[in-house]
Amino acid sequence: MTKAPGNILLVDDDEFVLLSIKLLLEPHFASVKTINNPERIQALLDREQFDVIVLDMNFRHGDTTGNQGRFWLKKIKSISPDTQVILVTAYGDIQVAVESMKEGALDFIVKPWQNEKLLATVKTANLLSLEKRKVKQLKSQQKSIVSSLHRYELLIGISEGISSIRKTIEKVAPTEAEVLILGQNGTGKEVIAREIHRLSKRAEDIFMTVDVGALSENLFESELFGHRKGAFTDAKEDRIGRFEAAAGGTLFLDEIANLSLPLQAKLLTVLQHKKVVRLGTNEPIDLDVRIVCATNGNLRAMVQEGKFREDLFYRINTVEITVAPLHDRPEDIPLLADHFLSRFSHKYQKSYLKLSDTVMTHLQKYRWPGNIRELQHAIERAVIMCEGQEIQMQDLGALQKQLSSEFSFDSFNLEKLEAWAIRKAIAKHQGNISHAADELGLSRGALYRRMQLYGI
C-alpha cells in the first residue's frame, strides 16, 4: 500500500487510545506521531508542520466539559492556521464538539469510534491540508511570476560564440544537470538560463529568478528557504521560500559569487540533500527544482583565494557556459539592434523607423562596456527621441560622442592600434592581466606600463 503524504499528530492522555489510532493510521500516512500530554503541542508545532491533529477534548480525570480540548484547539489554530484539527469526544459531549467546529475544528469523532469512519475523516482532513498548502505555493509562484514578468527574450546572434552556446543548451537542457553561466553584466546570462528552461522537460512549469547577491544575511534564509509564523520578529505568517515556490520548475540564482562563505555553506547543504528546512522548524521538505546559477565573477580565482567554496563551485557547474562580451562579437550587433528597434518601435508606435547606415556602422565599432543591456537602452532612447523615419547619430544623445570617438581601423596609428589590442585582450580575459599579457606576448610589467601610458 502506498502511503499518502501527510504528517499526523495524535494527542490523548490514554496510551491505549493512542496506540489503537496509530496502528490504524500508520499504513496510510507517511508520518504518524503521538503525545500523551497537550502541553507538548506548542513545542512540536514550533519545530514542524502537521497536516492533521487528532485531539482529545478532555485530559483531566473526570472532566467532561471539553474546555481543555477547546483551549488547545485555539492554541493550535493560532500557531498553525492551516493544520486541520479533528476532535475526539464522548457521546455526551457532542454539542461541545459541534460548537468547537465554529472555533476552527474540521470535524469530530465520537468514542467508541468506527475505524472506517475515523480513517475516512483523517484522510479528508489530510487532503484538505495538502490542497491548502498547494494553493499557497501557487499563490507564491504567481506573485513571483508577476513580479519578474517581462517580454521573453530570444537568444539572438550568429557569432561563433552564440552558435556554440546554442549547441550546448540543446545538449544540456533535456537533462537535470546544474548549469553555471559566466559572463560580464548585461551579456544575456538570464536569457541563456531561460532558454535552458524553455527547452527542458520543466518548460511548462515556473522559471524563477533570484538575485542572491542582493539578499542580506538576514533575509537570505527567509527568502530562499521560507519561514514559520513567529520565526523572527517580522514573521507574521507562514511563508514558503523560493525553492519551494519554484517546485517542478527552474530556479535561476544570479550573482552567486556575491554570497558570503556562511551563506555558501547553507546553500550547499540544500543542494546536496535536495531538502530545505523553513526557518522556525526542523522539518525537512523535499525539493524538486532545477538549479541554474550565474555570475560575472571569476569563481576559479575566488576558489583559489578562499573566497568561494570549492565544493559548492563543483556542485553548481556540472556544465559551464561562458558568454563573451558584446564587443567581442560585433557580428551580433546588427541583429540585436534590429531586434530592439522592432520592439521599441512597436512600444512607442513608431513602426516606420529604421537605423541609418552611419549609426549601424558606429554601433558595431563601439566597445559597449554595458554589453547588450547598454545597447538595448541606447536603441530605446533613440526611438523615443527620433523625429524622422530614420534614426540618426544625434538621436543617441550622450552616447553619440562616445560612438564618434571610438577608434576606427580607417586610421592605422600604431599607438591607437596597440591601445585597442590591449583593451580587447583585457576584456577577453575578464580583467585577468596575466592571461591578457600572455595573449599579447608581453610580460605583466610591460603590459602594466602600456596600460598606464594609454590610460587604460
Q: What is the pLDDT of residue 145?
A: 53
Q: What is the DSSP letter of 151?
A: P
Nearest C-alpha neighbor of 256 from the set 201, 195, 204, 193: 193
CA angle 216, 274, 149 (to 5 degrees): 55
In angstroms, the Cα distances linking 152 to 156, 186, 210, 254, 271 are 12, 16, 17, 18, 28
User: Whole-angstrom Cα distance, residue 67 to residue 96?
Assistant: 9
Structure confidence at residue 141 as a pLDDT band (50, 70, 90): low
Mean pLDDT taken over the chain: 86
Model confidence pTM above 0.85 = no
C-alpha cell at 300: 576559479
Q: What is the pLDDT of residue 146?
A: 47
What average pLDDT does range 218-227 have in this prediction?
A: 86
pLDDT tens profile 25-45: 999 998 999 999 999 998 888
Paired sense of beta strands 179-182 and 290-295, if any = parallel
Q: Is 80 exceeded by the pLDDT of residue 330?
A: yes
User: Whole-angstrom Cα distance, residue 117 to residue 420?
Assistant: 82
Write down all domains in the chain, each with its CATH number in brackets.
Answer: 4-133 (3.40.50.2300), 160-322 (3.40.50.300), 327-405 (1.10.8.60), 414-454 (1.10.10)
Q: Residue 270: which residues within 8 A CB-CB, separation 6 or more? A: 224, 225, 243, 276, 287
Structure confidence at residue 325 as a pLDDT band (50, 70, 90): very high
C-alpha cell at 101: 467546529
Q: What is the DSSP letter of 152?
A: P
Q: DSSP letters along 255-285, please?
A: -GGG--HHHHHHHHHHHHHTEEE-BT---EE
User: Whole-angstrom Cα distance, residue 23 to residue 5?
Assistant: 17
Q: What is the pLDDT of residue 148?
A: 47
What is the percent of the chain with per-residue pLDDT over 70, rounded to a whole number?
A: 91
Q: Is 80 exceeded by the pLDDT of residue 160?
A: yes
Residue 230 main-chain phi, psi, to 5 deg: 85, 5
> Which of 36-50, 189-203, 303-317 has the weakest average pLDDT?
36-50
Q: What is the pLDDT of residue 334?
A: 94
Helices assigned H by DSSP within 148-216: 160-172, 189-198
pLDDT tens profile 237-267: 778 889 988 889 999 999 999 999 999 999 9
What average pLDDT does range 40-59 have in this prediction?
A: 88
Paired sense of beta strands 275-277 and 284-286, if any = antiparallel
Helices assigned H by DSSP within 199-305: 217-225, 242-245, 261-273, 299-304
C-alpha cell at 42: 506548542
Structure confidence at residue 284 as a pLDDT band (50, 70, 90): confident
> Which of 43-52, 156-165, 410-419 has the weakest average pLDDT?
410-419
Q: 11-28 burial, b if ≥16 CB within 10 A, otherwise e?
A: bbbeeebbebbeebbeeb
Q: Residue 80: which residues within 8 A CB-CB, separation 6 or more? A: 45, 49, 50, 229, 238
Q: What is the pLDDT of residue 405?
A: 53
HEC profile of 389-424 = CEECHHHHCCHHHHHHHCCCCCCCCHHHHHHHHHHH
Most confident of the ranges 43-57, 67-81, 209-223, 306-320: 306-320
Bridge partners for 6 per DSSP: none
CA angle 119, 120, 125 (to 5 degrees): 100
Structure confidence at residue 67 as a pLDDT band (50, 70, 90): confident
CA angle 342, 347, 350 (to 5 degrees): 70
Q: Is 80 exceeded by the pLDDT of residue 2?
A: no
